[in-house]
Structure 1
């Protein structure tokens, strides 16, 4: 496994692996333990199983696997509009565009993702998103 050492290179590799849809390869870029935080209450939400604490590569892979299982991949319209890098920190800004598999309902949500990279591995993953839009799409009655 070849891991880039530069923050921007690591972030770019993370986005490339995420786009390729291989959760195990995404997880290879994370340190153990990782400082993981999502903009949800600690107890999560019953309709959104990927929202829970994580700290290991296996749990990171599980997170991205669960995201894929609960969304229609062909309808993913997530975009990154800016990446700001300063030292080991990177902030990504963008818009999540997904369709919930269970309900058929689409949603968009703005996000900010704060990553910290040390020695080519992601040590911090803090994402801030419009969690109300996500919850509404996953709990709405299925569309016909």
Structure 2
């Protein structure tokens, strides 16, 4: 059964919200196109920012994000999901608190997903990387 793009995106967001990293990673095709709005080399304060190419990498990405933040204080919200064929854009605001030091930050985000044959084949996220890096760089 070929699932609708909106259904796949909605399920993906639900799995993310539940913190089920393995089940979230299962939604990705292999290979997939992965990009974060950071320089390729990332930033030392944000070790999860690196190239990804396999489902295990996806699970690792979300586990690392969780390890550096306080999940109970996550206030990330989605304001809109736009769908055009296989492509979807999720708009919202990231609201996180850094585990080491307790610095809270917010950043608008746009997530571009492509869904092909019921699997995510593109994950491109755009956020205020300077705000994130500054929050993670604060020493406790």
Structure 2: how far apart are the matches of 1:29 and 1:96?
22
- CA–CA distance in structure 2, aligned partners of residues 4 and 91 of structure 1: 20
Give the equivalent residue in structure 1 for 2:110. Answer: 112
- Computed over aligned residues only, the root mean square deviation of the Cα atoms, in angstroms, reads 1.0
1:122 aligns with 2:120: yes
> What's the TM-score once normalised by structure 2's chain length?
0.97
CA deviation after TM superposition for structure 1 residue 4, in Å: 6.5
Q: What stretches of structure 1 of length at least 5 have no aligned partner?
A: none
What is the correspondence of 1:84-95 to structure 2 with a 5 Å cutoff? 84-95=82-93
List runs of 5+ in structure 2 lacking aligned partners. none
| SS class of match (2:45) | coil
Indicate whether 1:33 and 2:36 are aligned: no
How many residues are matched? 140
The aligned residue for residue 13 of structure 2 is 15
List structure 1 segments (4+ residues) > 4 angstroms apart after TM superposition.
none
1:69 aligns to what? 67
> How far apart, in 2, do the equivalents of 1:4 and 1:17 lie?
19
**What displacement does 1:126 show?**
0.3
